[in-house]
Amino acid sequence: MLKVGLTGGIGSGKSAVSAGLAEHGAVIVDADAIAREVVEPGTPGLAAVVAEFGEEVLTSDGRLDRARLGEIVFADEAKLARLNAIVHPLVGERSAELMERATESGADVVVYDVPLLVENDLGAFYDVVVVVDAPDETRVERVASDRGMPRDQVWARIRNQADRDTRLAAADLVVDNSGSREELRDRVADLWRALVARAS
């Protein structure tokens, strides 16, 4: 089984690449989805976040207000570190469970979709590290138009992530996503062929 670490900064198109690989037959373990799961209402994770940051990070129906929490932590490195100290161990534990399940299922290629792979120096845990890349300005425009996030907030998140050169230096394979969706589909197909070749 080939363990693939897939990463890319905000707005790079990492999720589109992950979805494309799933269509080709990869088993996907999605760190973002797990990070949401571990702070669902009623979880110890959400209770710990509220204990640290207060009731103001909850919506009226008791869910985590991710936008509000983002405003707080991305403006303050110490607060971001405190949030990560709560969430990352829970994500790691759940990810390990899902990886074990994928191994038992006999999957050839398991793709671990992890935004902060480079920042947390996790490359050694994978057989191959794939970086989805696009220029910073392109990423800002994508996030602003697709998610409606103010550009200054997108830049704040970019500054809190590894810079482009650092991320590219960690890559075994790079997927260029500076072009159209059609071009990306072709690149994902090429990537899949390369991963299957490595797996066999």
Reported as a single tens digit per residue, the pLDDT across 95-119 is: 889 988 988 888 899 999 998 899 9
- How far, rounded to the nearest angstrom, does the alpha carbon of residue 195 sit from its chain's CA centroid? 19
HEC per residue, the chain? CEEEEEECCCCCCHHHHHHHHHHHCCEEEEHHHHHHHCCCCCCHHHHHHHHHHCHHHECCCCCECHHHHHHHHCCCHHHHHHHHHHHHHHHHHHHHHHHHHHHHCCCCEEEEECCCCCCCCCHHHCCEEEEEECCHHHHHHHHHHHHCCCHHHHHHHHHCCCCHHHHHHCCCEEEECCCCHHHHHHHHHHHHHHHHHHHC
Distances (CA, A) of 88 to 95, 142, 155: 10, 27, 23
**What's the pLDDT tens digit per position in 155-170?**
999 998 999 999 999 9
pTM for this predicted structure: 0.81
> What's the confidence (pLDDT) of residue 115?
87
Distances (CA, A) of 31 to 7, 95, 141: 10, 7, 24
Query: What is the pLDDT averaged over residues 25-38?
Result: 93
> What's the confidence (pLDDT) of residue 95?
85
**What's the pLDDT tens digit per position in 36-90?**
999 999 999 999 999 999 999 999 999 999 999 999 998 899 999 999 999 989 9
**What's the pLDDT tens digit per position in 119-140?**
989 999 999 999 999 999 999 9
In whole numbers, what is the pLDDT of the chain averaged over residues?
A: 94
> What's the confidence (pLDDT) of residue 96?
87
> What's the confidence (pLDDT) of residue 31?
86
Instruction: Please give the domain boundaries of the chain with CATH numbers for all domains.
Output: 1-26+108-200 (3.40.50.300), 40-106 (3.40.50.300)
